[in-house]
C-alpha cells in the first residue's frame, strides 16, 4: 500500500456498509443456501471467486443470499430466474460504479491516467463517509422511475398485440446514431480529449432521447441505440440528434438510421431484424442526415412537419436489397 493512503480494507468496509466478518463457508451456512447456489449468485453479481477460508463477506452478503433463496422457496422465481435477475443488477451496477469512481477521480485530477494524491484520496473517502447514505436512495429512486417507465411500455406493447399485431412482438421504432469518421478522430485527439467528445455526444443524445419521450437502449462509444413507442417520437429523436450534433463544430457529425417493426426485448437490450436494419441504414446516410426504412416512411406519410424522400434502392449485408428514404423537416422544430 502506498504511503499516506488509507487502508484498502477500511475503504472496502466503508463502501460495503459493514464489516468483513464471514468466509465463504460461513456465508453459505448462515443464508441457508447450497454452495452451488451461492456460487452462481456471486458469479452473476460479478464477484471474484474467493478461497473458502478468506474473510470476504458481510452481513449484507448473507442477507442478499437469504432474500434470493426466499424468492425461490416462495415460488416467485425459479433458480434460473433469480440468476438472470441478479446478473441484470450486477452488470448494471458494475458500469454505474465505474462511472461514479471515474467521475470522482476527474474532480480530483486533470488526467484519468494520473494517480490521485493521498490528499485527493482522503477527500474522496471523506465524501463517502459523509454522503454515501444520501447517494444510496437516489439509486433506488432512479430504478423505480425506470421500472415504472418500462412497465408502461410493456403494457402498451401488450395492448398492441391484443389489437392484432401479427408478429406477436412489440412494434417499435428503433434508431442508431453513429459518429462519422470516429476512427480517424480517435487517432487525431489525445485520450482525454477523445473521452470528452464521446461523453458530450452520449450526454447530448441521451438528453434529447429522454426529452422526446424515447429510451436510450445502449451506448457504444461512437454510437447510440434508441427506441421509441411511436414513429413520430422516433422521427423527432433522429432529426433532433442529427441537428444538435451538426451544430457543434468540435464534434463529428452523425449519421442516423431508423426502422420500424417487431423487436425482441431481452435483458435491457433489443434484437431482431428491425434493429439490424436500423444499423445498416446508418451506413447509407450522409453526415448529418437521417435515413429510414419503408415501414417507418409509410407511417410518417402525411404527418405534419416531416418530408420523406425515396432514394435509390441499395443492397445491405444480410438483408438483401432495401428501399431507403431520407427524412427531413418541413417546418422548424417547436421551441
Rounded Cα distance between 254 and 287, Å, is 6
Does residue 198 contact residue 296 with C-beta atoms inside 8 Å?
Answer: no
What pLDDT score was predicted for residue 164?
43
Radius of gyration of the chain (CA): 24
Question: To which H or E segment does residue 61 belong?
Answer: helix 59-73
Would you state the cell numbers that stand for residue 101, as one nine-digit string?
A: 469512481
Does residue 20 contact residue 13 with C-beta atoms inside 8 Å?
Answer: yes
Tally of CB atoms within 10 A around 212: 19
Closest Cα partner for 225 from 186, 290, 279? 279
Would you state the cell numbers that stand for residue 129, as one nine-digit string?
A: 463517509
Would you state the cell numbers that stand for residue 188, as one nine-digit string?
A: 487525431
Q: How far is CA 88 from CA 149, 268, 275, in A?
A: 17, 8, 21
Spell out the per-residue pLDDT of the chain, length 335, in tens: 455 566 778 778 877 888 999 999 999 999 999 999 999 999 999 888 888 999 999 999 999 999 999 999 999 999 999 999 998 888 888 888 887 777 777 766 655 556 666 676 777 777 777 777 888 888 889 888 888 877 776 776 666 554 445 556 678 999 999 988 877 777 888 877 888 888 888 999 999 999 999 999 998 878 999 999 899 999 999 999 999 998 877 778 899 999 999 998 887 788 999 999 999 999 999 999 999 999 999 999 888 999 999 999 999 888 999 999 999 998 655 55
Does residue 56 contact residue 24 with C-beta atoms inside 8 Å?
Answer: yes
Helix (H, G, I), strand (E, B) or coil at 3: coil
Would you state the cell numbers that stand for residue 7, as one nine-digit string?
A: 487502508
Does residue 192 contact residue 237 with C-beta atoms inside 8 Å?
Answer: no
Residues paired with 325 in a beta bridge: 292, 310
Amino acid at each position: 500500500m502506498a504511503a499516506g493512503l488509507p487502508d484498502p480494507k477500511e475503504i472496502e468496509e466503508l463502501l460495503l456498509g459493514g464489516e468483513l466478518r464471514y468466509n465463504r463457508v460461513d456465508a453459505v451456512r448462515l443464508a441457508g443456501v447450497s454452495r452451488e447456489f451461492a456460487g452462481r449468485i456471486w458469479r452473476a453479481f460479478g464477484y471474484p471467486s474467493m478461497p473458502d477460508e478468506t474473510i470476504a463477506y458481510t452481513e449484507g452478503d448473507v442477507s442478499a443470499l437469504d432474500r434470493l433463496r426466499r424468492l425461490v422457496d416462495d415460488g416467485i422465481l425459479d433458480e434460473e430466474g433469480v440468476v438472470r435477475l441478479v446478473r441484470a443488477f450486477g452488470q448494471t451496477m458494475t458500469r454505474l460504479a465505474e462511472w461514479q469512481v471515474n467521475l470522482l477521480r476527474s474532480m480530483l485530477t486533470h488526467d484519468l491516467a494520473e494517480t490521485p494524491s493521498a490528499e485527493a484520496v482522503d477527500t474522496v473517502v471523506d465524501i463517502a463517509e459523509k454522503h454515501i447514505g444520501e447517494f444510496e436512495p437516489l439509486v433506488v429512486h432512479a430504478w423505480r422511475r425506470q421500472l415504472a417507465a418500462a412497465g408502461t411500455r410493456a403494457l402498451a406493447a401488450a395492448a398492441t398485440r391484443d389489437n392484432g399485431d401479427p408478429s406477436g412482438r412489440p412494434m417499435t421504432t428503433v434508431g442508431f446514431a453513429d459518429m462519422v469518421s470516429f476512427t480517424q478522430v480517435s487517432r487525431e485527439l489525445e485520450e482525454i480529449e477523445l473521452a470528452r467528445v464521446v461523453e458530450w455526444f452520449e450526454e447530448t443524445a441521451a438528453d434529447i432521447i429522454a426529452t422526446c419521450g424515447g429510451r436510450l437502449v445502449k451506448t457504444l462509444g461512437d454510437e447510440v441505440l434508441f427506441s421509441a413507442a411511436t414513429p413520430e417520437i422516433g422521427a423527432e429523436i433522429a432529426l433532433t440528434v442529427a441537428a444538435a450534433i451538426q451544430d457543434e463544430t468540435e464534434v463529428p457529425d452523425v449519421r442516423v438510421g431508423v426502422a420500424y417493426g417487431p423487436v425482441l426485448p431481452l435483458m435491457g437490450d433489443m434484437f431482431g431484424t428491425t434493429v439490424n436494419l436500423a444499423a445498416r441504414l446508418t451506413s447509407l446516410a450522409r453526415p448529418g442526415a437521417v435515413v429510414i426504412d419503408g415501414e417507418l416512411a409509410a407511417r410518417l406519410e402525411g404527418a405534419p412537419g416531416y418530408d420523406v424522400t425515396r432514394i435509390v434502392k441499395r443492397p445491405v449485408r444480410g438483408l438483401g436489397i432495401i428501399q431507403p428514404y431520407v427524412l427531413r423537416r418541413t417546418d422548424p422544430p417547436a421551441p
